[in-house]
Amino acid sequence: MKSFQGVGVSAGIAIGPVQVLHTANEAVIRRVVEDPQAEVERFRAAQTTAIQQLGVIRDSTAAKLGEGKAELFDTHRLMLRDPEYVSSIEDLIMSSSVNAEFAVNSTMEQFAAMFEAMDNSYMQARASDIRDVSQRVIDILGNRDGNDSTVQGSGHIVAAEDLAPSETVQLDRSAVLGFVTEQGSSNSHTAILARTMGLPVVIGVHKGFESSDTGEMMVVDGSTGTVIIDPDDATLQQYREKQSGFEEHVRLLQKLKGQATRTSTGQTVRLYANIGRPSDVTAVLANDGEGIGLFRSEFLYLESADFPTEEYQFEAYREVAQKMGDRLVVIRTLDIGADKQADYFGLEHEDNPALGYRAIRICLTQPEIFKVQLRALLRASAYGNIAVMFPMITSVSEVREAKGILSQVKSELRAAHVRFNEDIAVGIMIETPASVIMADELAAEVDFFSIGTNDLTQYTLACDRQNPNLGRFADPHSPAVLRMIDMTVKAAHDHGIWCGICGELGADVALTDTFLDMGIDELSVSPKSILPLREAIRKR
């Protein structure tokens, strides 16, 4: 019996024979070509074929997993058309007279390194997407398939160095029990797709699977990140019992759909969801979310090559509002900067970006950008129950200035006879010690508070949350952080407004009783955390 530890990214237990897949990617050789223009045309032909292939995968994904997950492959096709990406390849071919494979590979490494160097884990995970689409083009140029084998038979666990999103979505759900990879990221599209498919997954197992492992019995625990090859009888029985327990728990959670989020003593808490794009609404509804407490609108910017237009944003906000019906949708205004960077903003390098030019500071300094978003947001408010929320607030003057710009936009829309909700609720993020200290005065200016515990922990404890060396110091359970939350809730209630939590701490069931004692009104969490949290609250 051999046991390995990785990172569990999709819960569940898989037990079955393993099939090891080895990628067939060959080393890309640099060759000098006599006709660079002909090589550019060869690249363009491969690019067209790759886009067509991704179109087929996109349609297949839509049929199996829904339109929301299929949007990933629309993004992949856009990557292959990205002017900067294409020009980098073609310029290298023309300037250095190199073969198309080498030019694509060089550009892939350049772009992947750029993503991997970013502080934001979501953007770091996009490196795998650029590698996926680029490798597809390289394989087409070399008349190769990406893998040297496919899953044979049924009831297998797949082990691989890594799996690209396009490979993951093409796995036969009826044949594959789960998978384990040596590389990968919990924020990668591969992990996201696996969770949607309901497959137990463990990544980061630095084992180096051999072909000889194929056929061996394997256990994959997607909750703990444990992987066991050739388990003994006692271990196998232990995990079979754990598997049965997990499946029974999932069935019981489904019975909580439609049930009130209420304690045995009658205390009610609203359970909302955090999302980053319109396609995420499907998961919110599937998990019985009572609303959306945080729509991270910055992802509309991060996934665009230029400033997203008013119309583009309007369509996104309207789509979410309409899908959610009467349920509240809280849209956080642009929170770019710090660990979320978009090149077209032209932001200068900062030694300490977490304390720098970000979020509401950008919006108030560049109101022309802010107004575009507010117009889109207000227009969408005519189609559902939308609220607006300003991030990174530290003073009353910032709130008043932001509300003043919102009033200007309302006046412009009225003059143009454009419909919007005149009484749209306005809230702020409480994520700095300054906003906690000023909560009494801030509460008089807005309709609600939402506590961003990720940044509040960082700023309260003076610990950079991106720094892996500070794990034991950046304790979100710190009495200082909890006292900050309690002070905020009391200030909100003293002024008759509601207060929620939209940081990761909201899903921590170890603190659910603490938050209930504080009188928290709302918890906004990832969609998959809604039913387990409802279970914990109803047991109170």
Burial level of 214, CB count in 10 A (0-12/13-18/19+)? middle
Backbone conformation region of residue 24, classed left if phi is above 0, alpha if psi is from -120 to 50, else beta: alpha
The sheet that has 226-229: what strands, in order across it? 2-5, 226-229, 217-221, 13-21, 156-160, 176-181, 201-203, 7-10
183 in the same domain as 70:
no
CATH number for the domain harbouring residue 166: 3.50.30.10
**241 in a structural domain:** no
What would the 3-class secondary structure string for 214-246 be? Answer: CCCEEEEECCCCEEEECCCHHHHHHHHHHHHHH
Looking at the whole model, is its pTM more than 0.85? no
DSSP of 251-318, one letter per residue? HHHHTTTT---B-TT--B-EEEEEESSGGGHHHHHHTT-S-EEEEETHHHHHTSSSPPPHHHHHHHHH
Residue 301: predicted pLDDT: 82
pLDDT recorded at residue 470: 72
In a domain, 253, yes or no: no
- Evaluate whether residue 28 is within a structural domain: no
Q: Dihedral through CA 529, CA 222, CA 165, CA 524, nearest 10?
A: 10
pLDDT for the residue 121: 63
Q: Does residue 99 sit in the same domain as residue 77?
A: yes
CATH number, domain of 458, equals 3.20.20.60
Distance CA 357, CA 336 (A): 9
Same domain, 195 and 303: no
In a domain, 14, yes or no: yes
pLDDT, position 68: 67
Tell me, yes or no, whether 128 and 200 share the same domain: no
User: Are residues 157 and 108 part of one domain?
Assistant: no
DSSP result, 420-434: --TT-EEEEEE-SHH
Confirm whether 26 is domain-assigned.
no
Percentage of residues in the chain having pLDDT higher than 90:
57
- 511 and 416 within one domain: yes
422 is in an annotated binding site: no
Among the ranges 20-34, 113-127, 275-289, 515-529, which has the highest mean pLDDT value? 515-529
* 105 among annotated binding-site residues: no
Domains held by the chain: number: 3
**Domain finish residue from 141, 169, 195:** 141
Same domain, 79 and 199: no
Residues 114 and 179 occupy one common structural domain: no
**540 in a known ligand binding site:** no
- Out of 78, 109, 141, a domain closes at 141
Q: 365 and 298, same structural domain?
A: yes
- Please identify, among 123, 141, 159, the residue that sits at the C-terminal boundary of a domain: 141
Q: Which helix (H) or strand (E) holds 135?
A: helix 126-141
End-to-end CA gap in the chain = 41
Q: Which pair of structure tokens corresponds to residue 59? A: 């349609």
CB within 8 A of 66, min separation 6: which ones? 282
Q: How far apart are CA 463 and CA 10, in angstroms?
A: 28
Mean pLDDT of all residues in 436-456: 96
For the annotated catalytic residues, the residue numbers are 189, 502
Whole-number average pLDDT of the chain: 88
pLDDT digits (tens, 9 = 90+) for 315-362: 999 999 999 999 999 999 988 765 556 677 777 776 676 777 778 998
Q: Is residue 365 part of a domain?
A: yes
Q: Higher pLDDT residue, 277 or 313? A: 313
> What does the alpha-carbon distance between residue 400 and residue 241 come to, in Å, rounded to a whole number?
58
Domain limits at 110?
A: 36-141
Residues 137 and 153 in one domain: no
Residue 31 in any domain: the answer is no
Q: Residues 69, 211: one domain?
A: no
SS3 per residue for 319-382 = HHHHHHCCCCEEEECCCCECCECCHHHCCCCCCCHHHCCCCHHHHHHCHHHHHHHHHHHHHHHH
| Residue 213 domain-assigned (yes or no) | yes
Q: Say whether 332 counts as a known binding-site residue.
A: yes
167 is in an annotated binding site: no
Same domain, 183 and 285: no
CATH number of the domain where residue 107 is located: 1.10.274.10
Helices vs. strands in the chain: H and E counts, helices first: 21, 16
